[in-house]
Structure formats: C-alpha cells, structure tokens
Amino acid sequence: MSSPLFDPVFGSSAVSTALSDTAWVRALLDVEVALGYACASAGLIPGGDAEEIERAATYLAEECNIVALGHEAASGGNPVIPLVEWLRRTATVAPRSVHHGATSQDVMDTALMLLLRRAGDSVLSDARRCVDAAADLARRHRDTTMVARTLGQQAAPTTFGAVAAGWAVSMYDAATLLSSALESAVIQIGGAAGTLAALHPEGRTVSTALAARLGLREPPVPWHTDRVPLARIATAFGVMAGACSGPALTITLLSTTEVGEVAESAPGGSSAMPHKRNPVAAITARAAASRVPGAVATILSTMSHDHQRASGLWHAEWLTAVDVVRGTGGATARLAESLTGLRVHADVMRRNLGITGGAIFAERVTAALAQHVDDARTIVTEACMSGRRLDDDPRILDHLGRDVVLTLLDPDHYTGHAGDLVDSALAHVSNPEMRTP
C-alpha cells in the first residue's frame, strides 16, 4: 500500500498516486462509463443514458467516500458491487443501463489493465531517463579506462564507457519489453460465465467498442480464468526491476571508500557519522527492486484459476499487481536520480588500475611469453603469486625485455573493442522502440 512516509524514500510517490484507492475508483468508473457508451453504440441502451452515466460517474469520482465503499465491498468481495449500486442511485437512468451485460470481474480486470497502463507510463518515463543518463555517461567516458572486476576481484581493463553502455542497453531492452507488454493490455468483458450471453447478439460489437473507448486491445475471448494477460505485464515489470538492480549495485560498490571511482551528485549523509557520503539513490533503487520478484512470483502462482471464476486467487492479484508496479516504479525513479549527474573520478580509476602491480595484465603477458616458452602460464602465475611486478620478473624479462613488458602493461592498449561496443550500444538505444507516455 502507499505510504507518505516511505514512498519518497523508495521513489514510489508518482506511481503510488497512479495506483491509489482514488485512482482505482476512477478506473472502475471509467470502465463503467465506457461500457455505457459501448452498449449505447450497439443499441442496447438509450444513447442519452451513456451521457448520464458519465455525468454520475464524474460526480462519484470527486465525491466518493472510499472508506464507506471499502466497508460495503467486504460483503461481495470486491468494490464493483457497491460502486455499481451507487452509480445506479446517482444516475437518472433505468438501472439496467448501468453495468449492462457485465460482471464484477469484467470491470475489475479492465480497470486493473487501465491502472497498469497509466502507472506504466510513469515507469517508462523514468526508464527513459535511466537510458539517456547511462548513454550520456557511455558517450562521455567512451575511452575512460578502468579496471574490470569479476567475482569481486580485479580482472582486466575495460572502460567506464563500456560499463555505462551495458547499463543503457539493459535498461533499454527491459523498457522495450515492458512497453510491448503494456501495449498488449486487453479489456475484459465476458459477463456472468464468460459467454457474453447478456449482450447477445451484440456481444462482440460491445467488446470492440469498449476496447476502442478505453484505448486497450480486444482479446479473442474473455480471459476470466486465463491469467496470461496479467502475468505477461507483471513479468515485464519484474524484468524492468531486475534491470535496475544491477547498475544500482555496481554504483554502490564503485562508490565505496576503498574504491571511490564514482559518486552520486547528491549523496546522503549519516545521523551518526558526518563524513559519510552514501549513494542513497542507488541503494534505495536496489531496495525497491528487491521487493518485486516475490510479488511477481505471487502473480505467477495465482494463475491456476478454477472453472469460470476463481475462488480467491483472482482476489489475490489486485494488491499484488500494485506492489509489482510500485516497486518497479520506485527502482526506476531512484536509479534515474543516481545516474543523472553521476560523478566519475577518472583519476581514481587510473590509480586503481595499478594497485596489483600489473597482475591484471597476466593474460596478455602470458600470451606474449608463450611465443617463447612452453611454461609461460606457470612463470606468470608464480610471479603474480609472489607479489613481484611482472616488469621486474627476470624469467619474463629474459624473453620479452622490459620495454615490451611495459607496453603489455599499458591499460589503454588492452581494452579490446570497448570503444566499438559503446558505439554499438549508443546506436541500439537510439532506436525509437520504447512506448513513450
């Protein structure tokens, strides 16, 4: 649920507003209004009734007592039942014109799809900020050499541009997946048993008109107990959250005192230690992202709906889906803050390249030495294990010479295709495949 105390900390404020109880009620009423116009266009209710339903819904959206609605929802197990009664009492139309041919699940499912699309726009907007900020870092630091780290240890050189380019591509691809999933959001209209019996013979006409009115897709059949449409979107949000967590963790690690290669532009402090400059945006981005996989797993575990209306698992989806989006929205928002204006300390990166005394170039030296001796790997390994610099080891110098070894230990000449990969990444993320709000 939303929290005025913690939403700003975890970057969830904008998304929480889009998923609030008030937003839920508005979405439910939007569906009822669209249904009224769809039924009117099919000649099932008078055209003027749809306009009156819209007037009444607009009034209820402003004046709805959410606490009272929640209490009344308990007896039926969902808020649509009492809300429809309120709408019927407010609208001066025949009761049958309101909620015509629909069941509660039709309205709840369609409203949830609307909410996911609306909140998803905020997530995609922040994802775009992440991509743009990471791409800018990649462009500016295309050739800024740094040490790569594998399994927590220094490896061979890379460039910060290549690192940031990886972030940009990951975020872009996740956002493209989410964009596609949101575009697939469908209405739900099946009636009591999923056969559109109450709308026959105009059921498909109403379905088409309802989808067009709401800007959602029309499914081939009602999906009351087929939860793939929801699972597809929830999973895409989960991938987006996961894409945020990697850069967030790496930024946190690169910001540690002992490494000090990057710093957020607005680091956080400590209540006890005045010297602290914590990468709070990255830390809270990772925290928000970590809450998402469990909620996605719950959505997946609730896909086994029984018969034509699930007994409990459908109800479990509503708040769980909201949690998925809130966590993902918070992660993208906070990561965007971390990446924007991230300070890169190229001098510290250069310093850290040398702390192993050249051992990070063991691969390159071994390859060169192997052209002269059969036990090159053993010689280089023993030199590294002894702590001796590779340009001081006599067994290496005897065959390669100091000048050659010093050239081999030059980090700027062992970054491979890093620059080319940055260029490729920048071209990739410039493609307009992400759905933009």
pLDDT for residue 364 is more than 60: yes
Read off the pLDDT band of 433 (50, 70, 90).
low
Q: What is the dihedral of CA 24, 28, 30, 34, to 10 degrees?
A: 160
Mean pLDDT of 151-165: 95
Residue 293: inside a domain, yes or no?
yes
Mean pLDDT of 77-104: 97
Q: Do residues 310 and 386 share a domain?
A: no
pLDDT, residue 435, reads 52
Please indicate whether residue 140 is annotated as part of the active site.
no
The answer to whether 182 touches 116, Cβ cutoff 8 Å, is yes
pLDDT, residue 20, reads 95
Nearest to 178 by CA among 325, 288, 354: 325
Using DSSP's 3-state secondary structure scheme, residue 63 falls into helix
Rounded distance between C-alpha atoms, residue 116 and residue 268, angstroms:
32
Q: What is the pLDDT of residues 28-43, one digit of tens each?
A: 999 999 999 999 999 9
pLDDT for residue 434 is more than 80: no
Read off the pLDDT band of 278 (50, 70, 90).
confident
Q: Do residues 70 and 22 share a domain?
A: yes
What is the overall mean pLDDT for the chain?
Answer: 93
Q: Choosing from 270, 301, 424, 430, which is the catalytic residue?
A: 270
pLDDT, residue 11, reads 80
pLDDT for residue 58 is more than 90: yes
Q: Do residues 219 and 341 share a domain?
A: yes
Mean pLDDT of 1-19: 83
Read off the pLDDT band of 409 (50, 70, 90).
confident
pLDDT, residue 358, reads 85
Residue 429: inside a domain, yes or no?
no
Token pair 């959250």 is found at 241
Domain that includes residue 377, residue range? 348-419
Residue 433: inside a domain, yes or no?
no
pLDDT for residue 436 is more than 60: no
Token pair 């959410």 is found at 66
Read off the pLDDT band of 145 (50, 70, 90).
very high
Read off the pLDDT band of 273 (50, 70, 90).
very low
- CATH number of the structural domain spanning residue 253: 1.20.200.10
Contacts for 350 with CB less than 8 Å, ≥ 6 apart: 145, 411
Angle, CA 53 vertex, CA 51 and CA 56 arms, to 5°: 110
Question: Phi, psi (5° rounding) for residue 27?
Answer: -65, -40
Q: Do residues 272 and 403 share a domain?
A: no
Domain boundary residue, one of 289, 321, 347: 347
Mean pLDDT of 356-368: 88
Stronger pLDDT, 92 or 274, i.e. the higher one:
92
pLDDT, residue 268, reads 52
Please indicate whether residue 245 is annotated as part of the active site.
no
Residue 424: inside a domain, yes or no?
no
Q: What is the pLDDT of residues 292-321, one digit of tens each?
A: 999 999 999 999 999 999 999 999 999 999
Q: Choosing from 149, 217, 277, 309, which is the catalytic residue?
A: 309
Using DSSP's 3-state secondary structure scheme, residue 156 falls into strand
pLDDT, residue 383, reads 87
Read off the pLDDT band of 271 (50, 70, 90).
very low
Q: Do residues 393 and 339 share a domain?
A: no
Q: Do residues 266 and 356 share a domain?
A: no
Residue 7: inside a domain, yes or no?
no
Where does 340-401 have alpha helices with state H? 346-353, 362-369, 376-386, 394-400
Contacts for 232 with CB less than 8 Å, ≥ 6 apart: 181, 184
Mean pLDDT of 151-159: 93
Domain boundary residue, one of 309, 329, 347: 347
Q: Do residues 325 and 365 share a domain?
A: no
- CB count in 10 Å sphere of residue 343: 11
Domain boundary residue, one of 347, 381, 411: 347
Read off the pLDDT band of 431 (50, 70, 90).
confident
Residue 3: inside a domain, yes or no?
no
pLDDT for residue 87 is more than 50: yes
Residue 2: inside a domain, yes or no?
no
Total of domains in the chain: 2
Q: Do residues 253 and 233 share a domain?
A: yes
pLDDT, residue 233, reads 98
Q: Do residues 218 and 330 share a domain?
A: yes
Q: Do residues 268 and 392 share a domain?
A: no
Residue 194: inside a domain, yes or no?
yes
pLDDT, residue 270, reads 39
Stronger pLDDT, 214 or 275, i.e. the higher one:
214
Q: Do residues 76 and 208 share a domain?
A: yes
- CB count in 10 Å sphere of residue 98: 27
Read off the pLDDT band of 401 (50, 70, 90).
confident
Mean pLDDT of 332-353: 96
The answer to whether 399 touches 373, Cβ cutoff 8 Å, is yes
pLDDT, residue 12, reads 84
Q: Do residues 402 and 292 share a domain?
A: no
